[in-house]
Chains A and B, each alone.
Chain A
Amino acid sequence: MTTPATGAHAHAGSHGHEPGHHETSFFHKYLWSTDHKMIAMQYLFTGAALALIGGYLAYVFRMQLAFPGHVVPGYGLVTPNRYNSLVTIHGSIMIFWVAMPVLVAAFGNFLIPLMIGCDDMVFPRINRLSYQIFLLSALILLSSFLVKGGAFGGAWTSYPPLSAKGIYNLSPLGSTLWLVAVALEFVAFLLGGLNFIVTTMNGRAPGMRMWDIPVVVWMIVIASVLFMASVGPLIAGAIMLLFDQRLGTGFFDPGRGGDPLLWQHLFWFFGHPEVYVVLLPALGIVAEIITVFARKKLFGYRTILYTTWATGVLSFVVWAHHQFIAGIDPRMANVFTITTLLISVPITEMIFVYIATLYGGSIQFTTPMLWALSFIAEFLIGGVTGIFLGASGADIYFHDTYFVVAHFHYTFFPSAIIGMFAGLTFWYPKMFGRMLNETLGKIHFWGTIIAFNMIFLPLFITGAAGDQRRIYDYALFPEQMRPELQHLRQLSTVGVMILMTFQVFFLVNFFWSLKHGKRAGENPWLSNTLEWTVPSPPPHGNFAELPTVYRGPYEYATPGRKEDYWPQNAPITPLEEGAL
């Protein structure tokens, strides 16, 4: 699953844990390493490989929607049962096995120790275990395609009774494998999150106060806290659902005193904070990039943290907006409409702060900066369309239509995909010691962004026209069979193909630059944070001499200094003291 060969340029393996023990096997170097950077690479490459699989699934079901009943090149005929499995596994993979490992685990692992100035995570072996459990969960999920009955097809939300009984979902083994895989993935991220939280709390370099921590580290830590606090009830729910599937209990069976809506509450109590678990690290990555390429201090560092915490806390009291029409007490909808719309206050404020950061800057449109700016531009669309769904009266119509699909792709795609490319293009020089090619990077950027909008803008319209989700063929719904809607579906499918084609530019750029890119040096972007003070790629143990921190991470264009950046670990010289 991982592609460890690319790590061959990293120095990671050249120093063992014990001095004098330099002979490390391939296995120990790449697969059994406790080095946080190697674990980050494992998460990154596993996540990227699964993103390709998830994208392939999307291609198959989009082809079926555009040309129903035709054989899909590279797959075959899409039967109703397979269609359900495709959308279910696409959703599960993209959220649990792409967005989380890449944004939270890969960037969290790579950046946290480097940015807070220490040698590794506090518990390197727990970190390794976390990845191994994650890999196991991914393999279990993929194996479910091969079992009798096929992969689970009851949607990524897995509502019982459909998910609880084989006679309903017709994939008894697939549904259990799905559940076990998801539960293991949760355990993996609980272990990873422990490391992120405790490392940041206890492992910071001397002098680094709370307000000196780079925003991306804060965001990953807050995301880990949100994850930990929200996933517990769903782990409990997963145990109950597993017992319902396998041991004949009736937790979610109304005929036996259970309640199917209980699962929905447990699922969405997790599911809504999960949106922010994925979003926050991307916001953090964007904060690092816009400050560097606008040469600007972040506009209101503390405002960002306060609004992030406010968003995080509010995200625990909005879950029932996913269940307005699910049969809950209608009076509950009123409460949840209010809380849901209130969450727009901190999140808008945060976005305004990001936009305001550009004010007075000196903006260079490098590839990472383009990704970061496009994140803001695209996420705005995802944010405002959420209001339609959070307002109970309007949700009656939009619920479970393609409008919802378009909306959450405008939040998840900017987070998971745009955020990932932003982070990857920005830290690539640090990770691999070489610069990416800017021209290829920009071609890839424009191809991806235009195709992305081409996929999902039409879906807002088909959703508004009443296209309901998870339908493999609209032949039985005359109102949805209007030719103009079919054309929009085809437009969207063409977008998917363009999107996938342009990823070739990225892959070529990525692998070509590993060998032939310009050498990056320590600090190619003239950035302040600590990871840019060590060689690229950083050696095992990161810092030759552990740094001391003197100031916050965003001191760009500080008055009275010759350079327009001021690394966090640069001591104040007497001369500068006078100038300030």
Chain B
Amino acid sequence: MSTTARSIANLRSVTGIPTARLVTWWVIASEIFIFGGLLASYVMHRLAHPEWGIAASHTNTAAGATNTFVLLTSSLFAVLAHKAADAHDGPKAAKFLRLTALGGLVFLTIKGLEWTHEIREGFVLASGGFWSFYYTVAGLHALHVLAGLIIMLVFAVDVAKNENLPRVQCIGLYWHFVDIIWIFLFPLLYIAK
């Protein structure tokens, strides 16, 4: 089995949008419905349970805000990586991809410390409605961050050799999406108290 053979269909572009980018958009679309369902469920419950605000007051807003800043910064690096790839500067694009991934790593580290602290205080997944949503939604998001940064590091290997440069834009789109999800999560989970 060849691993590099591409179908002719893959090389066509009737819509004018490259196939890889088109499929990235569809992946993002389907992910929006998953997060959308989860967040809509959360918001409906939250409105029905004002007392969840008390639980929410135990979240660490400073850590959340720092993470927002970290993710936004990493998205900036993703944009710079895309720019470099457009200029056919593979090594530079790879460097920015790795910086983006580093941002993701910092995000996960802060998240890990935050959760460790909360779990030590006794707030676990099954501690009540708010905490169930808190860990589930943020956990699913963190998995997306983790997946994104791994994919980015893998892509960076080829990109550094000036190969598969269009991939930079695709993973960038995905990263922005993960970022935007967090922009929704932060106020809903941390700020609404």
Using a CB–CB cutoff of 8 Å, the interface residues on chain A facing chain B are 16-18, 28, 32, 34, 113, 118-124, 190, 194, 197-199, 201-204, 208, 228-237, 239-240, 243, 247-251, 256-259, 262, 266, 269, 546
Q: B129 touching A258 by the CB < 8 A rule?
A: yes
Q: Known contacts A232-B34, A240-B41; is A17 also within 8 Å of B49 by CB?
A: no
Bound: A197/B37 CA distance, A? 22
Complex Cα distance A122/B140, Å? Answer: 28
A257 near B14 (CB under 8 angstroms)?
Answer: no
CB of B37 within 8 A of CB of A236, answer yes
- Chain B residues positioned under 8 Å from A266 (CB to CB): 37, 41
List the B side residues contacting A119 at CB < 8 Å. Answer: 7-9
The chain B residue sitting closest to A541, CB to CB, is B8
- B30 interface residue per 8 A CB criterion: yes
Taking a contact as CB atoms under 8 Å apart, the answer to whether B34 and A235 are in contact is: yes
Query: Could you say which of B12, B32, B37 contacts A234, with CB atoms under 8 Å apart?
Result: B37
**Quick one: which of B88-108 are within 8 Å of A by CB?**
none
- Shortest B4–chain A CB gap in Å is 9
Assess whether B54 is interfacial by the CB under 8 Å rule: no
Q: Please name 9 further chain A to chain B contacts, defined as beta carbons within 8 Å, in addition to the given A208-B14, A250-B129, A256-B129, sorted by A numbering.
A: A16-B2, A17-B2, A194-B27, A228-B26, A235-B34, A236-B37, A236-B38, A249-B126, A269-B37
Minimum CB–CB distance from A383 to chain B (whole Å) comes to 28
Chain B positions within 8 Å of A123 at CB level: 10, 23
| Cβ–Cβ < 8 Å partners of A120 in chain B | 7-9
Pairwise interchain contact A198-B19, C-beta atoms closer than 8 A: yes
| Chain B interface, >50% SS class | helix
Q: Are B9 and A113 in contact (CB under 8 A)?
A: yes
Q: How many A-B residue pairs have CB under 8 A?
A: 141
Distance A208 CA – B45 CA, assembled complex (angstroms): 49
B184 at the A interface (CB under 8 A) = no
A242 to B108, CA, bound (A): 24
Question: Which residues in chain B, 23-48, are within 8 Å of chain A measured between CB atoms?
Answer: 23, 26-27, 29-38, 40-41, 44-45, 48
Chain A residue nearest in CB terms to B8: A119
Does B60 sit within 8 A of A, measured CB to CB? Answer: no
CA distance A201 to B21 in the complex (A): 12
Give the CA-CA distance A534 to B36 in the complex, in Å.
44
29 of the cross-chain contacts (CB-CB < 8 Å) are A17-B1, A32-B1, A118-B8, A118-B9, A119-B8, A122-B7, A122-B23, A124-B7, A198-B26, A201-B14, A202-B13, A202-B15, A203-B9, A203-B14, A208-B14, A229-B29, A231-B33, A235-B37, A236-B37, A236-B38, A236-B41, A239-B38, A240-B136, A248-B126, A249-B125, A250-B128, A258-B45, A259-B45, A546-B8
A235 to B17 Cα, complex, angstroms: 29
In the complex, the answer to whether A228 meets B30 with C-beta atoms within 8 Å is yes
Report the minimal beta-carbon distance from B44 to chain A, rounded to whole angstroms.
7
Determine whether the beta carbon of A236 is less than 8 Å from that of B9: no
Question: Which residues of chain A have C-beta atoms less than 8 A from B8's C-beta?
Answer: 118-120, 203, 546
Q: Do A198 and B22 touch (CB < 8 A)?
A: yes
Task: Please judge, given known A-B contacts A198-B19, A202-B13, A546-B8, whether A228 and B126 are in contact too, CB under 8 Å.
Answer: no
Chain A residues whose CB sits within 8 angstroms of the CB of B29 once the complex forms: 228-229
Instruction: Tell me if B132 counts as interface (CB < 8 A to partner A).
Output: yes
Give the complex CA separation of A208 and B10 in angstroms: 16
**Interfacial residues, chain B to chain A (CB-CB below 8 A):** 1-2, 5, 7-10, 12-15, 17, 19, 22-23, 26-27, 29-38, 40-41, 44-45, 48-49, 52, 125-126, 128-129, 132-133, 136, 140
Specify which chain A residues have a CB less than 8 angstroms from the CB of B125 in the assembled complex: 243, 247-249
Once the chains bind, are A202 and B12 in contact (CB under 8 Å)?
A: yes
**CB-defined contacts of B13 to chain A, threshold 8 Å:** 202
Interface centre among A28, A204, A233 (most CB of B within 10 A): A233
Q: Which residues of chain B are within 8 angstroms of A269 by Cβ–Cβ distance?
A: 37
Q: Which residue from chain B places its CB closest to the CB of A120 in the assembled complex?
A: B7
Which residues on the A side are within 8 Å of B129 (C-beta)?
250-251, 256-258
B5 and A236 within 8 A (CB): no
**Assembly CA distance A290 to B30 (angstroms):** 34
Tell me if B22 and A202 are in contact (CB < 8 A).
yes
Q: Which residues of A sit under 8 angstroms from B133, Cβ to Cβ? A: 251
Query: How many angstroms from the CA of A118 to the CA of B6 in the assembled complex?
Result: 12
> Closest residue of chain B to A263, judged by CB?
B41
Given A122-B19, A251-B132, A233 and B37 contact (CB-CB distance below 8 Å): yes
The complex places the Cα of A462 from the Cα of B183 at a distance, in Å, of 54
Cβ contacts under 8 Å, B19 to chain A: 122, 198, 202-203
**Shortest beta-carbon distance from B125 to chain A in Å:** 6
A518 CB to nearest B CB, Å: 32
CA distance A231 to B34 in the complex (A): 8
- Please indicate the chain B residues that have their CB under 8 angstroms from the CB of A235 in the complex: 34, 37
Residues of B within 8 A of A232 (CB): 30-37
Nearest A residue to B52, CB-CB? A257
Assembly CA distance A251 to B27 (angstroms): 27
Given known A-B contacts A201-B14, A202-B13, A17 and B5 have beta carbons under 8 A apart: yes
Q: Which of B2, B34, B136 contacts A243 (CB 8 A)?
A: B136
CB-based contact A262/B23 at 8 Å: no
A154 to chain B, nearest CB (A): 20
Could you tell me the distance between the alpha carbons of A203 and B9 in the complex, rounded to whole angstroms? 5
Across the A-B interface, give the 7 residue pairs with the lowest CB-CB distance, nearest first: A232-B33, A233-B37, A203-B9, A257-B129, A248-B126, A236-B37, A120-B7
Q: Which of B12, B41, B136 contacts A203 (CB 8 A)?
A: B12
* Distance (whole angstroms) from the CB of A49 to the closest CB of chain B: 26
Chain B residues, CB < 8 A from A230: 33
C-alpha gap A178/B105 in the complex (Å): 35
Q: A236-B41, A240-B41 are in contact. Are A118 and B12 (CB under 8 A)?
A: yes
